[in-house]
């Protein structure tokens, strides 16, 4: 079976959620394979952009997906979309790799979330709406701001190195990031 | 302990570094302790994580090896290895009088109290995956002042109990002060109550006075 995801239509957020639910509810391997085909190649890109070699990035993409399988039951659609949830798993794995130990700073569950309330359709809708707003806001950023945001998420580089890479002063990196974050925030805070 | 909502928060830039995993471990722990008591920062962190998720979903996929999926499918039934990090030892003495150990610090080993100056005691907190980083629990007496200092990096101070002020503002339980590298300040504790706070420095601390420089090695910053 080819695991190349290129050429396939990317999974939409709602499809992603149904796949994770199928894994959580009935250990559905086909659902897992579909999710893998979408996310594993993107995770590999994500890890490569953080400075890993391709083979190491692929291993970590596989480890991330293994965690997705094991943790599917703890996925909370009222809190975040699937891509956000997988992002946090990948991010924590990368921190582990950097520090060679499991994460302490970024637990997957907030202690405040332990008392689980039944998930309403409205919760899921709100979380999905937020994800959509973020996507739209990201697309609307001017490219020089989007570059700084991307480098801030995908690399460990301090602002001084990002500045050197882009050939701009460090103050400009900070002001672009601040401006981008303000725009992202205002798009999220504003009810549409 | 208090129903007051935090008034002072980490900057957006710090929360973004926290979310993307590029904040040093000690500073990330201080932010974690603040986050656990701050609904506003939990929401901002949620927004920033959603941004990370959207970026992940939008990147160009990379080609995987032909066996990548089958290799993982073959491992789905493996038993998950137990986490290697266990909660650190139970403490005979409380973390600080009247204060429970913040859950974000449950994996940390916490040293004994050391007196640094007549008005300042500290406990070193060992960050398990970054033992070279400095995280301190500080106890400053009511009405006492810290040595005036600046830092080569950002200083993150989270108030656990009591209150202090400096020229940047007034800080109470749940508040986090973020003091940039270019700021020199001298926190002073309010007269009615001792202050316990957590502090991490992203870089080294520079103490201004001769006395300050003498106590610097004790700080470990």
pLDDT in tens, A20-60: 999 999 999 999 999 999 999 999 999 998 888 999 999 99
Q: What is the ipTM of this complex?
A: 0.84
Q: What is residue A2's predicted lDDT score, i.e. its pLDDT?
A: 44
Sign of the dihedral defined by the CA atoms of residues A173, A174, A176, A177, in that order: positive
pLDDT in tens, A71-125: 999 999 988 999 999 999 999 999 888 776 444 444 444 444 433 445 567 777 7
Report d(CA A86, CA B208) in Å as an integer: 46
A4–B51 CB contact, under 8 Å: no
Q: Which of B29, B106, B128 is nearest to A99 (CA)?
A: B128
Q: Are B155 and B147 in contact (CB under 8 A)?
A: no
Write the residue in A33, A91, A103 that is nearest to B73 by C-beta.
A33
Instruction: Tell me the sheet residues that pair with B198.
Output: B137, B158
For the whole model, what pTM was predicted?
Answer: 0.82
When the pLDDT of each residue in chain B is averaged and rounded to a whole number, the result is: 84
Interface probe for B, chosen from A29, A34, A105, A109 (most Cβ of B below 10 Å), is: A105
Segment 108-167 of chain B within 8 Å of chain A by CB: 108, 127-130
In whole angstroms, give the CA distance from residue B195 to residue B210.
24
From first to last of its 221 residues, chain B has per-residue pLDDT tens of 445 789 999 998 899 889 998 888 999 999 999 999 999 999 899 989 999 999 999 889 999 999 999 999 999 998 877 766 666 655 556 788 888 899 999 888 899 899 888 888 999 998 887 878 889 999 999 999 877 776 667 889 999 999 999 988 999 999 999 988 777 888 899 999 999 999 997 765 555 555 555 555 555 44
Task: Label residue B178 exposed, middle or buried (CB < 10 Å: 0-12, 13-18, 19+).
Answer: buried
Q: Do B127 and A104 touch (CB under 8 A)?
A: yes
Instruction: Tell me the per-residue pLDDT of B85-121, one tens digit each, with 9 for 90 and over.
Output: 666 655 556 788 888 899 999 888 899 899 888 888 9
Query: How does DSSP assign chain B, residue by residue?
Result: ---PPPS----HHHHHHHHHT-S-HHHHHHHHHHHHT-HHHHHHHHHHHHHHHHHHHHSPPPPPPTTHHHHHHTTTTSPPPPPS----PPPSS-SBTTBPPPGGGTT-EE---EEEETTEEEEEEE-TT-TTS-EEEEEE-TT-BPPPEEESSEEEEEEEES-EEETTEEE-TT-EEEE-TT--B--EE-TTS-EEEEEEEES-EEE-SHHHHHHHHHHT-
Per the structure block, which two tokens stand in for B23?
């904040």
Candidates B12, B55, B69; nearest CB to A1? B69
Pairing of strands B154-161, B164-166: unpaired
The span from the CA of A37 to the CA of A25, in Å, is 20
Q: How far is A158 from chain B (nearest CA, A)?
A: 8
Tell me the H-state helices in chain A. 13-26, 29-49, 54-71, 82-99, 121-140, 143-154, 159-166, 170-189
Task: Decide if A3 and B65 are in contact by the 8 Å CB cutoff.
Answer: yes
Torsions phi, psi of B159, nearest 5? -85, 125
> What is the Cα–Cα distance from B83 to B95, expressed in whole angstroms?
24
Cβ-Cβ contacts under 8 Å for A95 (sequence gap 6 or more)? A103, A105, A106, B21
Q: What is the pLDDT of residue B123?
A: 92
Q: Do B36 and A111 touch (CB under 8 A)?
A: yes
């Amino acid at each position: 079976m080819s695991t190349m995801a290129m050429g396939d239509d990317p999974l939409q957020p709602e499809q992603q959620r149904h796949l994770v639910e199928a894994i959580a509810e009935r250990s559905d391997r086909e659902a897992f394979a579909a999710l893998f085909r979408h996310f594993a190649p993107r995770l590999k890109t994500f890890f490569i952009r953080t400075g890993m070699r391709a083979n190491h990035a692929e291993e970590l993409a596989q480890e991330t997906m293994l965690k997705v399988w094991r943790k599917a039951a703890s996925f909370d659609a009222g809190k975040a979309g699937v891509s956000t949830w997988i992002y946090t798993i990948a991010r924590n794995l990368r921190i582990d790799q950097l520090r060679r130990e499991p994460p302490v700073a970024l637990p997957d569950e907030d202690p405040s979330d332990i008392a689980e309330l039944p998930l309403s359709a409205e919760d899921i809708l709100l979380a999905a709406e937020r994800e959509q707003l973020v996507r739209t806001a990201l697309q609307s950023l001017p490219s020089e701001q989007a570059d700084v945001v991307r480098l801030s998420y995908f690399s460990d580089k301090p602002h001084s190195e990002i500045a050197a890479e882009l050939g701009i002063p460090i103050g400009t990196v900070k002001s672009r990031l601040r401006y981008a974050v303000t725009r992202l925030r205002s798009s999220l805070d504003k009810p549409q | 302990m208090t129903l007051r909502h935090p008034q002072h928060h980490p900057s957006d830039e710090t929360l973004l570094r926290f979310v993307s995993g590029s904040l040093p471990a000690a500073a990330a722990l201080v932010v974690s302790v603040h986050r656990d008591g701050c609904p506003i920062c939990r929401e901002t962190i949620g927004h920033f994580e959603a941004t990370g998720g959207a970026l992940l979903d939008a990147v160009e996929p990379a080609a995987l090896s032909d066996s990548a999926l089958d290799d993982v499918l073959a491992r789905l039934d493996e038993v998950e290895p137990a986490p290697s990090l266990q909660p650190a030892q139970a403490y005979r003495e409380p973390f600080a009088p009247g204060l429970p150990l913040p859950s974000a610090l449950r994996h940390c080993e916490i040293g004994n109290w050391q007196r640094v100056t007549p008005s300042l005691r500290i406990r070193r907190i060992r960050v398990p995956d970054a033992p070279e980083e400095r995280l301190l629990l500080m106890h400053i007496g009511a009405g006492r002042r810290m040595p005036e200092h600046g830092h080569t990096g950002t200083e993150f101070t989270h108030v656990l109990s009591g209150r202090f002020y400096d020229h940047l503002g007034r800080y109470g339980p749940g508040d986090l002060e973020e003091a940039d590298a270019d700021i020199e300040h001298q926190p002073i504790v309010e007269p009615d109550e001792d202050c316990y706070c957590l502090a991490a420095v992203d870089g080294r601390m520079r103490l201004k006075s001769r006395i300050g420089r003498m106590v610097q090695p004790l700080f470990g910053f």
